[in-house]
Structure 1
């Protein structure tokens, strides 16, 4: 059985874009996740149904390949597929295409279910994945390995966690992490570069009232691309790590 692919038309709003007129990375993830939520609701396994069973979905990692970032006011077709799962992990794929079918962005993501009371990972309930047509497998392929943050030349920025940062799971929405990470980089670097891919891995929850530190460094260019490496910390505890691949526009 082939897992179902669900697609929706999307238009990029001006407020979702950056200085270059491209969708920013936080809104890119927001957009694709919304399509997966719409699929879940369409199949009657939306977040309310999952939480009624005492659990919720939590993303562990996104691996994102960018052929071209969608532009302001551009119309897209965004598709998603809950492709496979094991007892503990589920893989979901996403694609963003132009209206004439050109692939712009491809995303692989890894998810778990978390008990709402204990905040611990629990086994995936097959009833919550069967409607997607997801394949039951013994093992899911590895995600991208993220480089360690070097100790030298680290940029650091602090962020307070606001009420508007909190999502329906009671913690900071994971898309805010990539926003904090990008905003830590210097304006001059961001003005001269465009992201062509990234991986972000989530390690721990961030909650209302936490003081967040975003740390980053830019690595020397290799094969024509720059890389930045990132950490999100709360009281020196790592909550997320990431690496972003950048194209130099100059």
Structure 2
């Protein structure tokens, strides 16, 4: 049986929204990770305890589904649950709901634990997962990989420099920063006339401080699907598939 669901309430404030006044994509993930961190702290397995053992969580993949984005001033209920794990991987679910229980956002994620100095995967301590009451499995429930960019077709490219403030306490680029790099190249006109409904992102190689990032994308003929990749030099760091609906 999966572990208990951790719940917290949050009021959306203006600086968490984009130009539409709705909760921005990076902030959706920031709120999810906030709930995850608070869940760990409540169980005595927070960032301080992990870092004391020179370990930390890194996300490998997210699968996001949006029913409706909340707006500034809305009260949301953030929920998270450690679903299952094996020695090296853990599956965690997140939800954003209205106080009445209407679903707004659902996220499925796969995490791994790393040695903070060597930046290599390590086994997840059994005591840690016991605290979360997650289900131990031989093989975790995988998320399908996002469709890759067609290397035989041209891409639109935009470049970014990795700044000091892009790095978080796990000593790598904050996960939410990747979403800025993904969607910013699409441009204001597209983003103001389309609403994101699904995002599947898979992280391959960490982006480090001081690197130069290339964000590439391709778009479907009907402009309802975009395919993305983030590269540093010739290294593929991240790939993603985004599905959209046109605003009426």
With normalisation by structure 1, the TM-score equals 0.95
Distance 1:113 1:51 in 2: 11
Contact (CA 8 Å) 1:115, 1:122: kept in 2 or not? yes
Shift of 1:142: 1.7
Task: Report the equivalent of 2:240.
Answer: 242
Q: 1:181 to 1:44 in 2, by over 3 A?
A: same
Contact (CA 8 Å) 1:178, 1:200: kept in 2 or not? no
Cα deviation, 1:93-147, whole Å, max 9, x if unaligned, reads 0010001110111110000011122211111111122111111111111202211
Asked if residue 93 in structure 1 is aligned to residue 69 in structure 2, the reply is no
Shift of 1:26: 0.5
Distance 2:102 2:231 in 1: 38
Contact (CA 8 Å) 1:216, 1:231: kept in 2 or not? yes
Shift of 1:33: 0.7
In the alignment of these two chains, the number of paired residues is 247
The RMSD of aligned alpha carbons is 1.2
SS of the equivalent of 1:129 reads helix
Shift of 1:153: 3.8
Task: Report the equivalent of 1:135.
Answer: 135
Contact (CA 8 Å) 2:145, 2:202: kept in 1 or not? no
Task: Report the equivalent of 2:58.
Answer: 58
Q: Structure 1: which 4+ aligned runs deviate by more than 6 Å? A: none
Distance 1:197 1:6 in 2: 24
Task: Report the equivalent of 1:70.
Answer: 70
SS of the equivalent of 2:172 reads coil
Contact (CA 8 Å) 1:50, 1:128: kept in 2 or not? no
Distance 1:23 1:171 in 2: 24
Distance 1:155 1:72 in 2: 32
Task: Report the equivalent of 2:28.
Answer: 28
Shift of 1:91: 0.4
Q: How does 1:191-202 map to 2 (within 5 A)?
A: 191-202=192-203
SS of the equivalent of 2:27 reads helix
With normalisation by structure 2, the TM-score equals 0.96
Distance 1:173 1:19 in 2: 22
Gaps of 5+ in 2: none
SS of the equivalent of 1:220 reads coil
Q: 1:44 to 1:83 in 2, by over 3 A?
A: same
Contact (CA 8 Å) 2:91, 2:141: kept in 1 or not? no
Distance 1:72 1:7 in 2: 20
Task: Report the equivalent of 1:161.
Answer: 162
